[in-house]
Amino acid sequence: MTPFAWALLGFVLGAALGAAVVWMVIQRAARKVRGQIVNRHHLGEILAPLRAAVVVVSEADFVLAASAFARKLGMARGSSLYPAEVSDLLADARKSKRTMECDLRLVGASGEPMQLAVRAVPLSNGAAVIVGEDRSEDLRFSETRRDFVANISHELKTPIGAIGLLAEAADSAAGDPEAVHLFLGKLTKETRRLNELVSQIIALSRLQAVDPLLDAHEVEVTQVMEAAVARCAEIAEAGSISISVQAEPDLIVIGDAEELETAVTNLVQNAVAYSEPGARVAVTSGLADDGRVEIRVSDNGIGISTEDQKRIFERFFRVNADRSRASGGTGLGLSIVKHVAVAHGGEVTVWSRVGRGSTFTLRLPQSIEGGSE
């Protein structure tokens, strides 16, 4: 052979060897990738961090891998699938060879009711995937709405019923001016209550519909405090309660002045309503260590037990319904305060001791431009 032929043969053999090596490397890599996909351990690692409850089962319904959430809910225990509803759903899906869905109610890790939307998906190799998405938040939302509607109906029916009865009573006492006067006085009181309730319900729905930060302005905290105290002057005077204001100057927050005023007014109204005649209410402001603006409303009134403190921000929750109604309360005041605080990027907290008094603190982010730093 000529040197050229030797060179050509060498080149061809070298190229063939090189191609074979590349092919082997690719095959090895592909095998590795395939191995990773089917490897149970790796599958478990992929599923573990998922927020949904995901379980992969073999052809014989043995659990191959499950997300941590699925294990927490007890849908995968060892290699068994639970509860029976899920196994039945999977059997239906396998039989019909298509994805099947159902809603499942379970008890969460800390005993809370949970609602899952579950799908069973048969795979072409005989295995199957079960996916459960947490719908508990939707469930809680619709329950809260249902309770709210039921509570509103109840709260509205009471004054409306009373107004009807009082009007009839006034009519039948037509010959007795003193009785008529008495009934009309009560009628006015119930009408005021109804008016207050309707206004609060409207305020709450308006708050829910509009984000105050979408059309926000700089709001002077001192003005909010003074306006709120002015709104409560009449009821404070009627209860012989003095209100003092101590405001740190130049504190500015971003938001809706009207909403903030309503929130502080509700706190001051409560401080007055749940104090004995002659008591003192203090409204103060300042900067917290974390740079947020604090508006504090303190009273030395009846106070709230630790147990009740957990519920007072719920709509229509009252510690003592009679005392609340007697002072014109609707049970919505603090839920409005909480809503305003959260919508402004802040929070409201309470400190209280029964018989010693309460301090409600509204914390709001400070406006950087207007801040006193």
Whether 118 contacts 131, CB under 8 Å? yes
User: Out of 67, 115, 324, 366, which residue is the one contacting ligand ADP (CB under 6 A)?
Assistant: 324
Distances (CA, A) of 18 to 30, 32, 246: 18, 21, 85
Pairing of strands 280-287, 242-246: parallel
Of 318 and 363, nearer to ligand ADP (C-beta) is 318
Residue with tokens 């709260």: 155
Of 318 and 339, nearer to ligand ADP (C-beta) is 318
Of 358 and 366, nearer to ligand ADP (C-beta) is 358
List the structure tokens of 341.
Answer: 């605080």
312 binds ligand ADP (CB under 6 A): yes
> Considering only CA atoms, which of 263, 278, 256 is closest in space to residue 339?
263
Residue 274, number of CB atoms within 10 A of its CB: 22
Least distance between ligand ADP and beta carbon 118 (Å): 39
User: In angstroms, rounded to a whole number, what is the distance separating the alpha carbons of residues 291 and 363?
Assistant: 10
User: Out of 319, 349, 351, 365, which residue is the one contacting ligand ADP (CB under 6 A)?
Assistant: 319
159 binds ligand ADP (CB under 6 A): no
Of 52 and 245, nearer to ligand ADP (C-beta) is 245
Of 132 and 333, nearer to ligand ADP (C-beta) is 333
Whether 335 contacts 314, CB under 8 Å? yes
Stretch that binds ligand ADP, among 1-9, 224-232, 252-260, 311-319 (CB under 6 A): 311-319
User: In angstroms, rounded to a whole number, what is the distance separating the alpha carbons of residues 302 and 243?
Assistant: 17
Of 24 and 321, nearer to ligand ADP (C-beta) is 321
User: Out of 73, 301, 346, 362, which residue is the one contacting ligand ADP (CB under 6 A)?
Assistant: 301
Residues 267-296 that bind ligand ADP (CB under 6 A): 270-271, 274
Least distance between ligand ADP and beta carbon 136 (Å): 26
Least distance between ligand ADP and beta carbon 160 (Å): 18
User: Out of 115, 285, 330, 367, which residue is the one contacting ligand ADP (CB under 6 A)?
Assistant: 330
304 binds ligand ADP (CB under 6 A): yes
Of 99 and 191, nearer to ligand ADP (C-beta) is 191
Whether 304 contacts 352, CB under 8 Å? yes
Least distance between ligand ADP and beta carbon 219 (Å): 22
User: In angstroms, rounded to a whole number, what is the distance separating the alpha carbons of residues 91 and 104?
Assistant: 16
Least distance between ligand ADP and beta carbon 213 (Å): 24
53 DSSP assignment: E
List the structure tokens of 274.
Answer: 């749940």
Stretch that binds ligand ADP, among 2-10, 171-179, 204-212, 297-305 (CB under 6 A): 297-305
Distances (CA, A) of 124 to 58, 98, 130, 174: 12, 11, 14, 85
Distances (CA, A) of 16 to 12, 23, 96, 112: 6, 10, 51, 66
What angle do the packed helices 40-47 and 3-38 form, to 10 degrees? 60
Least distance between ligand ADP and beta carbon 266 (Å): 6
67 binds ligand ADP (CB under 6 A): no
Residue 284, number of CB atoms within 10 A of its CB: 17
Residues that bind ligand ADP (CB under 6 A): 266, 270-271, 274, 299, 301-304, 312, 317-320, 324, 329-335, 358
